[in-house]
Amino acid sequence: MINIIRIFKRLLFGIFSFWFISCYSSLYTNEQKGLNIVWLVAEDLGPYIPSFGDSTVSTPSLDRLAREGVCYTNVYSVSGVCSPSRASLVTGMYPSSIGAHHMRTLSQQPAAREKGLINYEVVPPPEVKMVSQILRENGYYCTNNKKEDYQFYKSEMAWDESSIFAHWRNRPDGMKFFSVFNFGVTHESNLWDPWYRQYNLDPFPPDRSLKKWWKQFEGIKKPLYVSDDIDINIPPYLPYNNVVKEDMKRMYSNIVEMDEKVGLILDQLENDGLLEKTIIVWYTDHGGPLPRQKRLLYDSGIKVPMIIRYPSKKRSGEIDKRLISFVDFAPTLLSMVNIEPPSYHQGLAFEGKLKSPNNRSYIHAAADRFDEYYDMIRAVRDKRYKYLKNYNLDKPYYHPLEYRERMNTMKELLRLNDEGKLNDIQSQWFRLSKPEEELFDTENDPHELNNLAQNRKYEFKLIEMRNECEKWMSEINDMGFIPENELIESFWPNKIQPITEIPSVNYDNGRIKLDCITDGASIGYKFPNDDLPWIGWRPYTGSFDLDSLKTVKVIAHRLGYRPSDTLIYKQP
């Protein structure tokens, strides 16, 4: 029966691809030049791979990328969780500068809803576009397979495709592409609920009968890819016992599976003759999945591995130690393909033709609401020292999040803490209050366990980092001090989502001109031959001719607003 599933998936993919290409091939000419970009994104993963010093498991695909590319060893997320981090990746802005700092906004956990929080979309400033839309406006075919979760729903003009079927292979021949592949197998939740990946059952398009059919697989446990006697280095802030070891075995097993998926993408690029025409970027969306990693601003929560393979193996085997932030990714992506980054980007392009002449001296990160619990912490890091500014001193470090407490390691930590059996290092996380400032020497204290803020030897470093934190928060107009209900009201007055106005159509001298009165709205259009649900709206960049059917559909959308109704225009 499993083989039937796989055959059915391939059949669906083949049918969709054929329809897509035949209907969409007229969108662009074949005379495209320039490099392609592929982002390979693993979820919830710190540097637990051989190319970054951890040889617990073998990762031949990532090893190959590291041999043929550049390992970036000082890369940091802007948050310890995915949604705020992803908002930064696609906008080039810090989450707390656009109100995207709470985890999460689009789909609140039940306990958060009980506290009165609604599902809402962040409304960025009107000039902000998703970086993939900017690429599309410059002739790139953009695909996302398949994670979104940006704190707002994607722009209608963001992607040519965003689905489990999205792939560069669906593009018109010769067209440049930017393709994102997200590997959810390493996600935190797969430490306790990995059953559906035993047979690689990715979700189908919505179909209730299929969903019911999948129910028969519930409870099936996925086998581990690592041996029972594997030697695992458990971090000192976690108990050294078999419960933790089993979760870490699952983590490493998921890494092995993720590496296999990376290998499939590399094989496809090679088979398509595109490997040396494509920049490949592999990274993770924030730090590790274990307790005292994800959601926290310690390096375990925000430091990520990144490998970039350039065409012709340029800079192969190099180690790049520059400080890099997620807020730098969007401008760097554009710089790599020689597109001028917009002025609102808050990051620095660290590679490409438009690379910034300056290197970073600091990276910055923020922590705010996680599910139903509020806290506010800001972080600054240079190459050696980490500074934390705590704003809720009477709140504990640990917050009892129901989602995280499904993990056996978290349950074990709580049990041992209740019984008074944690050592001094392991019990730190359960302190009931926080100092206003923390300072760590990450070179001598990589797990950030020894606070130096009160040590007079480090007084000048503390002042330097404090001043940098205050300066950064002021420069980006940090919204962390605004109560979330007030923030929601500023986005959606009376908690009602604003609606993008329907665009206007002007037919002038044989050309179609479009406009929309909603400030910050982007406009998209479709001709009848490309009016299929998995095909993105063409981004409107200037007047155009109608097709032979003399008909066009038009839509407008500002990020955070509801898209406009669709307008159908037929030439009189």
Identify whether the C-beta of residue 301 lies closer than 8 Å to the C-beta of residue 295: yes
pLDDT tens-digit series, residues 181-194: 999 999 999 999 86
pLDDT tens-digit series, residues 381-440: 999 999 999 999 999 999 999 999 999 999 999 999 999 999 999 999 999 999 999 999
Is 23 one of the catalytic residues?
A: no
Closest C-alpha among 121, 174, 13 to residue 534? 13
The pLDDT confidence band at residue 33, using thresholds 50, 70 and 90, is low
φ/ψ (deg, to 5) at 472: -60, -45
The pLDDT confidence band at residue 547, using thresholds 50, 70 and 90, is confident
User: Average pLDDT of 122-141?
Assistant: 98
- Pairwise CA distance, residues 16 & 166, whole Å: 10
Q: Return the structure tokens found at 26.
A: 């007229």
The pLDDT confidence band at residue 509, using thresholds 50, 70 and 90, is confident
Query: In this structure, are strands 377-381 and 385-390 parallel, antiparallel, or unpaired?
Result: antiparallel
Closest C-alpha among 161, 157, 184, 181 to residue 172? 161
User: Average pLDDT of 108-121?
Assistant: 91
Burial 319-328 (b: 16+ CB within 10 A, else e): ebeebbbbbb
Active-site residue (options: 82, 142, 469, 516): 82
pLDDT in the model for residue 30: 35
Q: What is the pTM for the complete model shown?
A: 0.91
